[in-house]
Chain A
Amino acid sequence: MIELLIGGTVVVVGGIALTVRAVQARRQQVQAMAEEMLRLYAANEIVNQEIKTVEAQQIASRVADACDIEMGKASVEVLHDFFPLGFEEKLNSLGTAGEREEFFRELINRLAAAMKVEIAEIDFKELNPNEYGKCGNKRMQLNAALFLDPASAVPATKMVHTLLHELRHAVQDEALLEGNPWGFAPSRLAEWTVSNANYVDCTQAYALQSIELDANWYASVVLDMFDKKN
């Protein structure tokens, strides 16, 4: 027997007409199957949204707040002062670890002032070999081997990206905890708050958290602006 349910009308092909009760039961069964399918689909969609495509969506839909533009422009000005001939040329001219440390300390302080964020302490120290740096409680820690060794194979652009990325984390912290003097939209602060609760310890999930996306986005935008201005 083949049944077709068309707009509530029961059409029966090659069988006995169904009773109202049977039709209702069949409808409920179909509805339950549809709901189950939607539920399973939704469960997978959640993972897709949370883990797979968040970055593309967020980066593509990112709209800079006025404070982002102001902060970006101020950061680019500092980079121009410190790297008039480009990143590599400047770092190649610094022959010793001491010269590099002094240069980076001054650069970080100037960038922090341009971004209107407080960095109370800068440490160059031994970190995990894969770790470039981190920033928390107004303290920036950078991997001494990667930043200070004149023979370091790390491209200068990546070093500057790291500084901008970590300084942006300091901005996020202050915006959440110290009154948001920059004027970030409340919805963005809420995203950063929720992002702070990590739920899966894996690179992919980490890379897709809004605080990391925002820090990477800011660093990339500033470097793009710097390139265009050169």
Chain B
Amino acid sequence: MKYETLENKFKTREEAIRMAVRISQCKPFIRQAINEWLETEVSPTLTVAAKPGWGNGKEWEFSAEDLMIGYGMHPLDALLFLDWLIADDESCKNALMYLDHPSTPHRLEMTQDELLAKLKPEVRKLSEALLKKRKQNYDRLERYYNEKLKGKEIYHD
């Protein structure tokens, strides 16, 4: 399955592109599992073991099923989480800390423009500068996606 198929699976093109770039950074066996899930829609059963440097030699084993059942994660989310978990020691620690303290994403019930309009001028100016920087980053990601990922297979032997 190609990266461009993700474009139909997310609410916005930006989300699909950011997700495509994130998936492209995953380890090959994680991309293989993501590819299988996209093709078959069968819940993934992948299990990984993490042995972080700060863990006094202890090894943790996590499966996509654990994350989906125990933490209510979406299958794709669970696979990305496994990739994060084994990315490096500090990320693994952060991932485990998050699992210990799950909470619902906090959102103000208003649009970005409505929120900006309510801010003090100084904060609004700083916020707009951050949003501009973020837009520039996204533009670069989009170019990268269009040129290097869009038509490429997520995983191939």
Contacts and interface: CB of A to CB of B under 8 A. Distances in A.
Interface stretch (A10-18, A100-108, A161-169): A161-169
A131 interface: yes
Interface string A182-225: 00001101110110111111111011010110011001000000
Contacts of B116: 193
Contacts of A173: 108
B71 A130 contact: yes
Given A190-B127, A199-B18, A204 B81 contact: yes
Given A176-B119, A193-B115, A202-B76, A133 B104 contact: yes
Given A52-B87, A135-B106, A194-B127, A161 B119 contact: no
Contact of A196 (B104, B108, B123, B148): B108
A64 to B, nearest CB: 19
Nearest to A202: B77
A132 B140 contact: no
Nearest to A179: B120
Q: A interface, how many residues as a size bin?
A: 35 or more
B77 A215 contact: no
Interface string A31-59: 00000000110111011001111011000
A212 B94 CA distance: 13
Interface in B55-85: 70-74, 76-77, 80-81, 84
Given A131-B72, A193-B116, A194-B130, 6 more contacts: A44-B21, A47-B21, A132-B103, A186-B120, A201-B11, A206-B105
Given A169-B106, A200-B22, A46 B131 contact: no
B90 interface: yes
A76 B60 CA distance: 33
A128 interface: yes
A215 B15 contact: no
Interface in A97-145: 128-137
Interface of B: 10-11, 14-15, 18-19, 21-22, 25, 70-74, 76-77, 80-81, 84, 87, 90-91, 94-95, 97-98, 100-109, 112, 115-116, 118-120, 122-123, 126-127, 129-131, 134, 137, 140-141, 143-144, 148
Contact of A189 (B72, B105, B106, B119): B119
Main secondary structure of the interface of B (DSSP, over half): helix
Contacts of B22: 47, 51, 200, 202
24 contacts: A44-B21, A44-B144, A46-B137, A47-B22, A47-B141, A158-B100, A158-B101, A161-B101, A162-B101, A165-B103, A169-B106, A176-B123, A177-B118, A189-B126, A191-B130, A196-B108, A196-B115, A197-B112, A197-B131, A203-B98, A204-B84, A207-B95, A207-B98, A216-B97
